[in-house]
């Protein structure tokens, strides 16, 4: 037994199906298994074992999101000697043309994408991942992709605003939209290119993809910057800060001190207690709005890279690993 699983040794089969929703686990067992037996009910995260076409098989609900799934995956492998876990849901419906986990890097400049893909792939043994990378300048290589992250465009230079990039990046976005529409019209698209809000609207218009499948990355990035600056000011770990930034990705963004908590305590209460002044918080708000420009000033050539990339990947992970829960 574990804190999350009450099953005894041997209750699970070698192969376990892993949906998110407990009721989906129950439905799978009752619909497809012969003689299903419930083996887990802790916290209503249901688990069953039965047979399918004469083969012993189990199904165990993993809950919503990767942190919850990671608990059950770890305990099933470590304590119940399970040999194979198959994710059931949006990530478990595998079509023949899809190679799950493959990553394609695309760049119109021949060689750049191939070189970067090879560079990343060579870190696989260090970072412990097993993913196939492909670098290409051919749009056909992104065919039937599930998620697209767009970074194409000219970066800012010192003194430039995001809006200064509008003309040239609109032309680039039109080409990208045509390539994606032709090869993966069902993809979910995350745009990082500046000026972000305009580029998202332009891409959706050029590609005619559904509006609910085209989003901008800014919310996570701007909130992350805001949390960092608060963390530095208040000398608390960034993970203890719960904060939100809304609005456009630029001068119109709105950090929300009224919805910000520091280690569970409202930021407004800290202001009232004299821990930090309203004026200092407004300076932090403005620094958040200028977060990208500050980096551009230091770099002189190029713009922010790591934080936008991490934010885009975070959105992709949330989409890939929680979409089945959202569908339910």
CATH 3.40.720.10: does it fit domain 219-289?
A: no
Q: Which of 26, 156, 162, 249 is catalytic?
A: 249
Q: pTM for the whole thing?
A: 0.64
Token digits of residue 14 = 């070698």
Any idea where the domains of the chain sit in the sequence? Answer: 15-87, 103-217+303-327, 219-289
- Known catalytic membership, residue 97: no
Complete DSSP assignment for 186-231: T-EEEE-PSSHHHHHHHHHHHH---GGGEEESHHHHHHHHHHHHHH
**Please, what CATH class does the domain formed by 103-217+303-327 belong to?**
alpha beta
Sequential pLDDT tens for the chain (328 residues): 788 899 999 999 999 999 888 999 999 999 999 999 999 999 889 999 999 999 999 999 988 766 788 889 989 988 898 999 988 865 444 444 445 578 899 998 878 899 999 998 999 888 887 888 889 999 999 998 989 999 888 776 777 766 677 888 888 999 999 999 999 999 999 999 888 889 999 999 999 999 989 999 888 899 999 999 999 999 999 989 999 898 888 888 999 988 899 998 999 999 999 999 999 999 999 999 999 889 988 988 778 888 998 888 888 877 776 544 334 3
What sign for the dihedral angle of Cα 290, 293, 299, 305? positive
Token digits of residue 255 = 């950090």
């Amino acid at each position: 037994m574990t804190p999350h699983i009450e099953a005894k040794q041997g209750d699970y089969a070698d192969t376990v199906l892993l949906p998110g929703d407990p009721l989906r686990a129950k439905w799978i067992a009752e619909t497809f298994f012969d003689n299903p037996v419930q083996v887990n009910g802790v916290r209503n995260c249901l688990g069953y074992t039965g047979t399918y076409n004469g083969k012993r098989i189990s199904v165990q609900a993993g809950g919503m999101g990767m942190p919850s799934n990671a608990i059950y995956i770890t305990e099933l492998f470590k304590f119940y000697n399970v040999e194979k876990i198959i994710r059931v849901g949006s990530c478990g419906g595998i079509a023949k043309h899809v190679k799950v986990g493959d990553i394609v890097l695309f760049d119109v400049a021949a060689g750049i994408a191939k070189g970067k893909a090879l560079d990343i792939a060579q870190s696989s043994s260090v970072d412990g991942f097993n993913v196939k990378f492909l670098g290409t300048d051919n749009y056909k290589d992104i065919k039937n992709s599930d998620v697209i992250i767009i970074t194409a465009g000219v970066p800012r230079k010192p003194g430039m605003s995001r809006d200064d990039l509008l003309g040239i990046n609109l032309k680039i976005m039109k080409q990208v939209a045509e390539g994606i529409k032709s090869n993966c019209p069902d993809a979910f698209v995350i745009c990082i290119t500046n000026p972000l809000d305009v580029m998202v609207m332009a891409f959706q218009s050029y590609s005619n993809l559904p509006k609910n499948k085209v989003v901008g990355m800014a919310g996570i990035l701007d909130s992350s910057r805001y949390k960092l600056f608060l963390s530095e000011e208040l000398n608390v770990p960034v993970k203890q800060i719960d904060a939100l930034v809304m609005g456009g990705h630029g001068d119109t963004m709105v950090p929300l001190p009224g919805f910000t908590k520091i280690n569970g305590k409202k930021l407004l209460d800290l202001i009232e207690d004299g821990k930090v002044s309203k004026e200092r918080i407004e300076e932090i708000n403005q620094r958040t709005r200028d977060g990208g420009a500050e980096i551009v000033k230091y770099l002189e050539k190029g713009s922010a890279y790591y934080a936008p990339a991490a934010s885009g990947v975070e959105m992709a992970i949330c989409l890939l690993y929680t979409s089945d829960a959202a569908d339910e």
